[in-house]
């Protein structure tokens, strides 16, 4: 590889033929090691400069470079930055008695805003920047996955510095960072009862405890292994016949089972 120093060859050349031994070679290697660190840093620096020198305005190369540059900040290393076509960033809002009869632009988190027609609710004063109103549309969007280990403000500053360097003059853009919280998987599921002994015609209620409490998917799927013995709806077990059945609750891929033993009532 270009710029790479032959450290092993250098160590061999520094060891005289009449001197040997593992300890002496290790000693020479320890003296040369700082040079190896400096060389590795220079190689990384040269790679960055080489990439920047070959950068073009083509989207596919630009995406690759942004991921190469900022991938270390991604919460999920499998995620990628991608460039999306332009989209409207605001909504024209007209209102009566406006001073100059000009529209205002409103937006919120790139989502549509619900407006009210309640006559008792007076609209607040809206302000807009002339440039934003004149464009009302960005040329492209830089979509960034969830990041970690750095503040959004600092990340946006670093990313915008790179984008501003390579974007075509006159193009406008918007950086959109994914702020949705990561999914928290279910670790365990338990039922309040392990065994139910009931007579035909009776009912019992089972409750589920899911850990951790803040798991993302807490939807409970109830199942009965024998519908002719018992049915279960939202944790309510109804015995319809004598026999044995397993009542299962599944949450986020984890399951818990309660054994049901049903018998005919003694008359």
Indicate whether 129 pLDDT > 50.
Answer: no
Task: Pick from 27-41, 163-177, 251-265 the range whose average pLDDT is largest.
Answer: 251-265
Alpha carbons 129 and 141: distance in angstroms, whole number: 19
Q: Which whole number is the average pLDDT over 127-132?
A: 41
Please spell the DSSP secondary structure of 38-101, one letter per residue. Answer: HHHHHHHHHHHHHHHHH--S-HHHHHHHHHHHHGGGBSSTT---EEEE--B--EEE--TT-SSS
Task: Pick from 35-44, 101-110, 229-238 the range whose average pLDDT is largest.
Answer: 229-238
Q: Could you give phi then psi for residue 34, rounded to 5 degrees?
A: -60, -35
pLDDT tens-digit profile of 180-209? 887 888 999 999 999 988 888 898 999 999
State residue 191's pLDDT score.
Answer: 92
**146: three-class secondary structure by DSSP:** coil
Percent over 90 (pLDDT), the chain = 16
State residue 52's pLDDT score.
Answer: 54
pTM confidence score: 0.45
- Provide the 10 A C-beta neighbour count for residue 61: 14
Percent over 70 (pLDDT), the chain = 72
The counts of H helices and E strands in the chain are 5, 14
Alpha carbons 143 and 74: distance in angstroms, whole number: 12
Indicate whether 55 pLDDT > 90.
Answer: no
State residue 169's pLDDT score.
Answer: 66
Alpha carbons 12 and 115: distance in angstroms, whole number: 77
Alpha carbons 66 and 73: distance in angstroms, whole number: 11
**13: three-class secondary structure by DSSP:** helix
Q: Which whole number is the average pLDDT over 106-123?
A: 46
State residue 190's pLDDT score.
Answer: 92
State residue 58's pLDDT score.
Answer: 64
State residue 124's pLDDT score.
Answer: 44
């Amino acid at each position: 590889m270009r710029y790479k120093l032959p450290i092993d060859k250098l160590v061999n050349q520094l060891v005289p033929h009449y001197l040997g031994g593992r300890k002496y070679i290790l000693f020479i290697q320890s003296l040369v090691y700082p040079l190896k660190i400096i060389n590795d840093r220079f190689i990384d620096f040269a790679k960055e400069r080489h990439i920047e020198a070959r950068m073009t305005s083509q989207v596919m190369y630009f995406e690759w470079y942004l991921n190469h540059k900022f991938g270390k900040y991604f919460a999920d290393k499998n995620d990628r930055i991608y460039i999306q076509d332009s989209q409207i960033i605001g909504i024209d809002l007209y209102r009566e008695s406006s001073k100059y009869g000009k529209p205002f632009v409103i937006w919120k988190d790139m989502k549509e805003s619900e407006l009210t027609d309640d006559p008792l609710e007076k609209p607040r004063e809206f302000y807009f920047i002339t440039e934003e109103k004149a464009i009302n549309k960005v040329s492209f969007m830089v979509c960034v996955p969830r990041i970690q280990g750095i503040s959004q403000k600092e990340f946006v500053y670093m990313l915008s510095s790179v984008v501003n360097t390579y974007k075509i003059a006159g193009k406008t853009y918007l950086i959109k960072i994914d702020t949705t919280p990561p999914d928290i998987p279910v670790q365990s599921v338990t039922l309040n009862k392990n065994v139910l002994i009931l007579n035909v015609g009776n009912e019992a209620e089972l409750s589920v405890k899911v850990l951790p409490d803040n798991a993302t998917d807490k939807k409970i799927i109830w199942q009965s292994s024998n519908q002719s013995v018992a049915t279960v709806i939202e944790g309510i077990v109804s015995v319809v016949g004598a026999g044995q059945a397993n009542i299962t609750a599944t949450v986020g891929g984890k399951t818990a089972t309660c054994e049901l033993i049903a018998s005919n009532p003694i008359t």
